Amino acid sequence: MTTQRAYVRPMSTFWWVKKRSYFIFVMRELSSLFVAWFVFYLLLFISAVGRGGEAYQDFLVGAKYPAVVVINVVAFAFIVLHTVTWFSLTPKAMVLTIRGQRVPAIVILGAQYAALVAVSAFVYWLVTR
Amino acid sequence: MTRPRIEPLIWLNFSAGGVTAAVFLPVLAFLFAFAFPFGWIDAPSHEHLVSVIGNPITKLALFGLFVVMLVHAAHRFRYTLYDGLQIKEKGLIAVLCYGSAAIVALASIPVLLSV
């Protein structure tokens, strides 16, 4: 008896460079790597604070090394991409209804940007006050 | 009887981490990667940072943020490798992604407690 297997069309590793929307999709997914980078970076920062005032100053100097700046600039661009794409995705993934009426996408979008502003202001106040 | 599955919990964490990263990381990255090192904004004193991070509520909050963001990143990167780069070693990718997230999450405990 022979078993039949469906034909799986081979796909190239770089299938996503041919079309703009595919490319943005992969870049969006790749932002995950830079989320992890900033968690790691913040841990290095907290560890420096834990080692004392001098280590903290050294960290601030180290953050200006060209290699670190390049990584951080690229990572920051990916974080912005993550924030923007995540916010615009939410109204599509989450259907909110209030009194039987679907909450319009623009309201969910606005609420998220408001949250971003509020959280940013709070963090800024907490670390600089 | 169906086996309880962990997958939905990971997706839940993926969403939580996605929101957290979207809302918290821009300001944290801007302040600590650029504004303070380059002096665009006066960097806080060491004493002030110790008092903020040393607070148990801050530690707990930071630990929570780090864990959900790490699991989010691991989960998303897993599918980036699988669908994006067409690497089909499913098991190995999962172990590497969640494994590194777990290691960094565990390592963050002594780091947070050191302040």
Q: Tokens standing for B106?
A: 């565990």
For chain B, domains (ranges, CATH) are 7-113 (1.20.1300.10)
Contact state of A116 with B22 under an 8 Å Cβ cutoff? yes
Element (H, E) at A101: strand A101-102
Position B8 scores a pLDDT of: 85
Number of domains in chain A: 2
Q: Is B111 at the interface with chain A, CB within 8 A?
A: yes
A74 CB neighbours in chain B (<8 A) are: none
Structure tokens at A121: 């202001």
* Residue B2 confidence (pLDDT) above 70: no
CB contact residues (below 8 A), chain A span 38-97, against chain B: 38-43, 45-47, 49-53, 56-57, 60-61, 63-64, 72, 75-76, 79-80, 82-83, 86-87, 93
A3 found inside a domain: no
Query: Do B107 and B79 contact (CB within 8 A), yes or no?
Result: no
Cβ atoms within 10 Å, residue A75: 21
pLDDT at B5: 81
Reported ipTM: 0.92
In this predicted structure, the answer to whether residue B1 has a pLDDT above a threshold of 60 is: no
B36's CB contacts (< 8 A; 6+ apart) are A60, A63, B43, B44
List chain A pLDDT tens, one digit each, 129 residues.
Answer: 567 888 888 778 888 888 888 889 889 999 999 999 999 999 999 999 999 999 999 999 999 999 999 999 999 999 999 999 999 998 888 888 888 888 888 999 999 999 999 999 999 999 998
The structure tokens 């959280």 sit at: A119
Report angle CA B52, B106, B5 to the nearest 5 degrees.
Answer: 120
Whole-angstrom Cα distance, residue A97 to residue A103? 5
Q: What percent of chain B has pLDDT over 90?
A: 78
Shared domain for A71 and A98, answered yes or no, is no
pLDDT score at A101: 86
Chain A touched by B97 (CB under 8 Å)? no
Query: For residues B73 and B50, is the Cβ–Cβ distance under 8 A?
Result: no
Q: What residues of chain A lie within 8 A of the CB of B62, using their CB?
A: 42, 46
Q: Which residue has the higher pLDDT, A97 or B49?
A: B49
Closest residue to A119, CB basis, from B23, B32, B34: B23
pTM: 0.90
Q: Does B37 touch chain A (CB under 8 A)?
A: yes
Give, in order, the Cα–Cα distances in Å from A49 to each of A37, A67, A117, B86.
Answer: 18, 22, 26, 41
Answer whether residue A6 is part of any domain.
no
Closest by CA to B68, choosing from A122, A39, A72, is A39
pLDDT of residue A94: 81
Does any CB of chain A come closer than 8 Å to the CB of residue B71? no
Residues A19, A76, single domain; the answer is yes
- Both A22 and A61 in a single domain? yes
Nearest Cα residue in chain B from A34: B73
The whole domain housing A19 covers 13-83
Distance CA A65, CA A89 (A): 36
User: Are A76 and B18 in contact (CB < 8 Å)?
Assistant: no
* Phi-psi group of A55: left, alpha or beta (phi > 0 → left; psi -120 to 50 → alpha; rest → beta): alpha
Tens of pLDDT, residue by residue over B50-83, are 999 999 999 999 999 999 999 999 999 999 898 8
